[in-house]
């Protein structure tokens, strides 16, 4: 039996890497005595598949995993038993049978909220966002192990909204592409926004709200 489980990665655990988080869940399943299925062979691995990695330092209320069990177990029980065995900051929110659902690794878009601070007024940002969305090409530099690469992230931005502001903070909501077929990151976008303003915008906090599989213009959340 396969379950798709939605979970949150809150402030106390936001510095944990993707790999460390996977190990943390494997141990939590064992503490919870859940019948998690394992692969065969000399080094058996738990049959857990996670949604694309969240950057270190980013919180999320929309992370997912697919867990395979060797015997049937009610989703509600999985949630309550897991939650009693998880470290502070990790919490499973929802679970249901994942039969017939698209594979979690196919997720290709994410909705973020980004809190930025700096010496600016809201109108500046609204204007910068408008201009950015009108550009056909937004070139940013991506640093990887192979060196610096120039990429056009314009096609990877689905939407950017400027939400409320209080004092010197502004909240942005952005839906952007993630995954194998090209991805953007909130950092890149904020950097691009700051460029025409010739001001450095400081990111205070990034939060991932939800993931989607966008196919032919349809955005489908995993659950």
Residues that bind another protein (CB under 8 A): 12-13, 15-17, 19-21, 23-24, 26-31, 33, 38, 42-44, 46, 56-57, 85-89
Supply the minimum distance, in Å, between the C-beta of residue 89 and another protein. 7
CB of 75 to another protein, least distance (A): 21
Question: In terms of CB distance, is 3 or 28 closer to another protein?
Answer: 28
Which CB sits closer to another protein, 22 or 138?
22
For the CB of residue 42, give the shortest distance to another protein in the complex, in Å.
4
Neighbouring C-beta atoms of residue 90, cutoff 10 Å: 21
Which of the 8 DSSP states describes residue 20? Answer: H
**Backbone dihedral region for residue 124 (phi beyond 0: left; psi -120 to 50: alpha; all else: beta):** alpha
Q: Are 179 and 102 in contact (CB under 8 A)?
A: no
Of 78 and 138, nearer to another protein (C-beta) is: 78
Q: Are strands 147-152 and 90-97 parallel, antiparallel or unpaired?
A: unpaired
Q: Are 47 and 68 in contact (CB under 8 A)?
A: yes
For another protein, the closer CB: 29 or 213: 29
Closest distance of CB 3 from another protein, Å = 18
Cα distance from N-terminal residue to C-terminal residue, the chain: 16
């Amino acid at each position: 039996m396969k379950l798709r489980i939605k979970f949150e990665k809150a402030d106390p655990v936001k510095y944990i890497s993707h790999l460390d988080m996977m190990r943390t869940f494997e141990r939590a399943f064992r503490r919870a005595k859940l019948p998690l299925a394992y692969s065969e062979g000399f080094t058996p691995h738990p049959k857990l598949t996670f949604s694309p990695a969240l950057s270190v330092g980013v919180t999320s209320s929309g992370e997912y995993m697919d867990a395979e069990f060797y015997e049937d177990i009610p989703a509600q029980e999985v949630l309550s038993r897991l939650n009693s065995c998880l470290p502070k900051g990790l919490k499973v929110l929802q679970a249901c049978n994942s039969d017939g659902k698209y594979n979690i690794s196919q997720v290709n878009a994410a909705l973020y909220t980004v809190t930025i601070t700096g010496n600016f007024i809201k109108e500046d940002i609204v204007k910068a966002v408008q201009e950015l969305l009108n550009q056909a090409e937004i070139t940013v530099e991506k640093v990887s192990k192979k060196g610096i690469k120039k990429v056009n992230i314009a096609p990877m931005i689905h939407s950017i909204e400027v939400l409320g502001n209080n004092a010197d903070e502004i909240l942005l909501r952005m839906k952007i592409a993630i995954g194998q077929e090209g991805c953007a990151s909130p950092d890149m976008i904020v950097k691009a926004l700051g460029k025409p303003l010739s001001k450095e915008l400081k990111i205070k906090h990034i939060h991932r709200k939800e993931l989607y599989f966008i196919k032919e213009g349809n955005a489908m959340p995993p659950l």
